[in-house]
Amino acid sequence: MKAVVVYESVFGNTAQVAEAIAVGIGEEAVAVSTAEVEPDELSDVDLVVAGGPVFAFQLSSDQMRASIGNKPAPGAPPANLSHPSMRTWLDGVNTATGLCAAFDTQVRGPFGSGAPAIAKALQARGLRLIASPEGFIVDGKYGPLRAGELERAQEWGAQLRRLADAERAQDQP
């Protein structure tokens, strides 16, 4: 099973989660930033898992990212803005087939989520959602990830693998 975990990561937390999810899925999975896979190159992918950070109660936007780059907060770590936002990447996804899942990284509390928006966008392009959108918790505005989140991400990746295998088995004649 070919799987790709596509992520947007500004402060490194989402990249770490994506890598852990890919490990959980197995050897056929790779974790790549939105700059490393063209959105129209998903035709031969069995499972697309996409994720990004939550800023201002929602999935980040190009405007939010520009603000982070232009006016860094005092004490903030350097932001990695070298790859497109997840929103921009999703806008480029053409009709695709296969399975999908979505995740985000967020500060715990009533601070919004981005994974449901990612899942909705992937489904609108023809992918079938195999798991509820998942959120992984960051301690503080910039991280680090809460203790145990990388292990939980790896377990979620293994669960996605089992769900994808079961879906693919059902699709076999």
What is d(CA 126, CA 97) in angstroms, rounded to the nearest whole number?
6
Please calculate the CA angle 50-100-5 and round it to the nearest 5 degrees.
35
The pLDDT value recorded for residue 109 is 65
DSSP 40: T
Tokens of 162: 């089992």
Below-50 pLDDT ranges, the chain? none
The pLDDT value recorded for residue 71 is 84
- Phi-psi map region of 124: left, alpha, beta (phi>0 left; psi -120 to 50 alpha): alpha
pLDDT of 98-139, one tens digit each?
999 999 999 876 667 899 999 999 999 999 999 999 999 999
What global pTM score does this model have?
0.94
- Beta-carbon-side half-sphere exposure of residue 136 (alpha carbons within 13 Å): 32
The pLDDT value recorded for residue 149 is 97
Helix axes 13-25, 149-171, angle to 10 degrees: 40
Domain ranges of the chain: 3-171
The pLDDT value recorded for residue 66 is 86
Q: Give one DSSP letter per residue of 107-158, joined into a string.
A: ESSSSB-SHHHHHHHHHHTTPEE-S--EEEEESSSS--BPTTHHHHHHHHHH
Domain spanning 3-171: CATH superfamily: Flavodoxin domain (3.40.50.360)
Residues 6+ apart with CB under 8 A from 126: 95, 96, 97
The pLDDT value recorded for residue 51 is 97
